Chain A
Amino acid sequence: MSELLDQAIKTIQSRFQAEVSTFRDEITLWVTAQQIVDACRTLRDEFEFDMLEDETAVDYWPEESPRFHVVYQLYSYPRNERISLRVPLDGNSPSIPSIVPIFPNANWHEREIWDLFGIRFENHPDLRRILMPHDWEGHPLRKDYPLGYEEVMFTFNFDEIDQRKPYAKRYPERQDKAP
């Protein structure tokens, strides 16, 4: 472990009362949702962690609190170091401040997490679904979301399947078929 990384960990630890865990030489700092923006800013401005490599989430359903973890991977170009941040979140309407003001490329990552996990990002400039269709119900990567399948449509069962689609439920009066 380099001196810079050591210092960064100590600073985050003392300033945010963060816990540190190590697995397979990967260092993870555990911070709370309120601290994540400040922690990222500290790492970027004081310790040269200038790139957000990745941001994702994990669902630990049926555990309720914490149910979700949001995981950040930060990378430092000048020092060639990687550090991971982890934020536990409650299962009941999970929400966390957005880090877009610090790392602009978090924008799509956070939209993806919102789309697939239903974790709300406060102060996000454009929080919409990104991968799923806009009228999709539910958040597919949650563990309580069943692994489904798409029914194959043929001429003989087209109407039957079409009636079960989300858009058919939303516009029952519409007679015309799928857009």
Chain B
Amino acid sequence: MTEMYEHIDESTLDGMRTLVTEEAVEGKTVLLNMGPQHPSTHGVLRLLLELDGEYVVNCVPDIGFLHTGVEKNMEAKTYTKAEVMTDRLDYLNTVGNNLAYCLAVEKLVDLDVPPRAQAIRVILTELQRIASHLVWLGTHALDLAAMSVFLYCFREREMILDILEMCGGQRMMTTYFRPGGLWRDVPVEFEGAVRNFIKIFPARIQEYEDLLTNNPLFVERTKHIGVLKPEDAIRWGVTGPPLRASGVKHDLRKVRPYSGYEQYDFDIPTQSDGDTYARYLVRIEEMRQSLRIIEQALNKLPYGPVRSNNRKYVPPPRSEIGTSMEALIHHFKLWTEGFPAPKGSVYVAVESPRGELGVYLEGDGGPKPYRVHWRTPSFVNLQVLPLLAKGHLVADLVALIGTVDIVLGDVDR
């Protein structure tokens, strides 16, 4: 099975000819290696930089340091068990990954989800979006030497992680959403905790804004840095906040609603400048819009079951197993063998904090997915980094890596 494949020998300048410009080979520009172990690459991203003085002539991302073979592993597990791996992709948006995967499985086997489960999914996904944006804001500000913002952001993120722990028992890797609904209903303290968060958080967003929005140091480092034109954004498949900061009003929650997003009233924040500052403003406003969605969903949270009644796909509740033979058989079959999914493929996309998170799921009639492919927003958005970085200072590159908001677990899968 060994075949010839291209490989770039980075030990000589001549070997790197296809990566860098002719000036680098002649020695007129400098080549600099950044990462994979570098705090401002937000993980294990490696960049090969070609510099003219302090200006970036070219930047070549090198990824794969965190490749864990999730797609291959998922093929060896049943639909239910494979879900555990979805948390580990984008580890700042764990419930969002669960949601994408569950929606794909539900579409593949044609499974219904009760309205209460859908509303709770929306609440938790939006909370997670805020948590993810908080990590982004903290680290982005930290890259630009604003230490205090990082501490404030993690203070509020902790409140969200507490809510997730309350529901799923885990702070990050919850696997709380299951195909057909949720693992269990939310506890009684849930509503109070979320309401408390909604009450506190708007003032906290204001606090971050006071620290950054009109801060001359921050504005200087972000305005007119890494301008992404809308046509480039579309051509390169960029989605999420970078796309909206370039003036394209596109949000999958609005244009292709899933999980009942069509019931909620919210705006899609856009900016027209397409620079790092515009992307900052879009994400800040997105946190406010998420709060609006959470509040609406909480106010009309319906009562009822949180998992589908379709016993062929969803295990029966514990209480039934003791009294019903049929429930026992279903329980046994679902946990030993799993449920079969029909032959066919579906593509489901949701709006993650980073952009469009797509799942391509193919079934072959058996209990294990035949093929799972993750179209991850970080992977696609990272491709545009060389375009953004061209002609900027090395110091600004650090801001640009932050503004694309990549998670390396999401890039490398």
Contacts and interface: CB of A to CB of B under 8 A. Distances in A.
Interface in B2-47: 2-3, 5-8, 18
B63 A130 contact: yes
A26 B6 contact: no
A126 interface: yes
Contact of A129 (B2, B5, B379): B5
B313 to A, nearest CB: 15
A133 B69 CA distance: 13
A97 interface: no
A105 B360 contact: no
B108 interface: yes
Given A24-B344, A84-B347, A77 B248 contact: yes
Contact of A23 (B73, B235, B345, B360): B345
Contacts of B211: none
A53 B237 contact: yes
A56 B234 contact: no
B3 to A, nearest CB: 6
Contact of B72 (A51, A82, A127, A140): A140
Interface in A111-165: 114, 116, 118, 126-135, 137-142, 144-145, 147
Which of B1, B5, B383: most chain A CB closer than 10 A? B5
A13 interface: no
A52 interface: yes
B8 A128 contact: yes
A interface secondary structure, majority: loop
Interface string B103-114: 000011010000
Contacts of A127: 5-6
Given A138-B2, A141-B71, A147-B72, A104 B235 contact: yes
Contact of A128 (B1, B2, B5): B5
Contacts of B356: 53
A126 B358 CA distance: 25
A54 interface: yes
B408 to A, nearest CB: 12
B235 A105 contact: yes
B235 A147 contact: no
A24 B67 contact: no
A142 B379 CA distance: 21
Contact of B1 (A80, A82, A105, A137): A137
Interface in B226-262: 234-237, 248, 250, 255-256
A105 B347 contact: no
Nearest to B413: A131
A64 B371 CA distance: 18
B347 A118 contact: no
B394 interface: no
Contacts of B184: none
A35 interface: no
B360 A24 contact: no
Contacts of B362: 58
A138 B3 CA distance: 8
B396 interface: no
Nearest to A126: B18
A52 B238 CA distance: 10
Given A126-B18, A130-B64, A82 B237 contact: no
Contacts of A141: 71-72
Contact of A137 (B2, B76, B360): B2
Contact of B234 (A58, A77, A139): A77
A131 B360 contact: no
Contacts of A52: 237
A114 B71 CA distance: 15
Given A73-B358, A127-B6, A137-B2, 18 more contacts: A24-B108, A24-B344, A51-B234, A53-B349, A56-B371, A73-B360, A77-B234, A84-B347, A93-B3, A129-B7, A129-B64, A132-B67, A134-B8, A139-B1, A141-B72, A145-B1, A147-B75, A147-B76
Interface of A: 23-24, 26, 50-54, 56, 58-59, 71, 73, 77, 80, 82, 84, 93, 103-105, 107-108, 114, 116, 118, 126-135, 137-142, 144-145, 147
21 contacts: A23-B344, A23-B346, A24-B344, A50-B234, A51-B237, A53-B237, A53-B375, A54-B360, A54-B373, A58-B345, A73-B360, A93-B3, A103-B235, A105-B380, A118-B3, A126-B6, A126-B18, A128-B6, A128-B8, A132-B64, A133-B64
